[in-house]
């Protein structure tokens, strides 16, 4: 009886237990590498806050430049070009982040 149960147990562990264990940890790994809904909401909120702060900063720089002709806010043309590039690239970057393809 023992001669039959040991090979059945080994075969069962090899063909059922081991694949189950491997697939279990693969799904755990994939689940932990993706963003949760709360993380995505927080990321969207932070992005919106950063965008509004950037708009406010540019408004303040325009007001100061209008009041003081000697004021030089840096390189506004390059900064605005970079901002427009980031905004155009934004949906692709968000989708890549959600798929786990971080840059």
Pair 92, 102: CB distance under 8 Å: no
101 and 55 both lie in a single domain: yes
Do 14 and 40 belong together in one domain?
no
11 lies in the same domain as 54:
no
In which domain, by residue range, is 7 found?
1-33
Number of structural domains, the chain? Answer: 2
Tens of pLDDT, residue by residue over 75-91, are: 555 555 556 556 666 77
Q: Can you give the pLDDT at residue 12?
A: 87
In terms of C-beta density within 10 A (0-12 exposed, 13-18 middle, 19 or more buried), how is residue 23 classed? Answer: exposed
Do 59 and 102 fall into the same domain?
A: yes
pLDDT tens across 35-49, in order?
Answer: 778 888 999 999 999
CB 76 within 8 A of CB 61: yes
Q: What is the pTM of this model?
A: 0.43
Please report the DSSP string for 49-79 in residue order.
HHHHHHHHHHHHHHHHHHH-TT---S-HHHH
Report which of residues 49 and 97 the model is more confident about. Answer: 49
Residues 40 and 11 in one domain: no
């Amino acid at each position: 009886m023992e001669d039959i149960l040991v090979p059945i147990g080994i075969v069962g562990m090899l063909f059922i237990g081991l694949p189950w264990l491997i697939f279990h940890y693969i799904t755990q790994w994939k689940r932990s590498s993706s963003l949760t809904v709360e993380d995505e909401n927080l990321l969207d909120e932070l992005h919106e806050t950063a965008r509004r702060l950037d708009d406010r900063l540019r408004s303040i720089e325009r007001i100061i430049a209008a009041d003081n002709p000697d004021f030089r806010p840096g390189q506004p043309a390059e900064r605005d070009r970079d901002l427009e590039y980031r905004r155009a690239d934004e949906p692709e970057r968000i989708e890549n982040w959600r798929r786990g393809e971080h840059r």
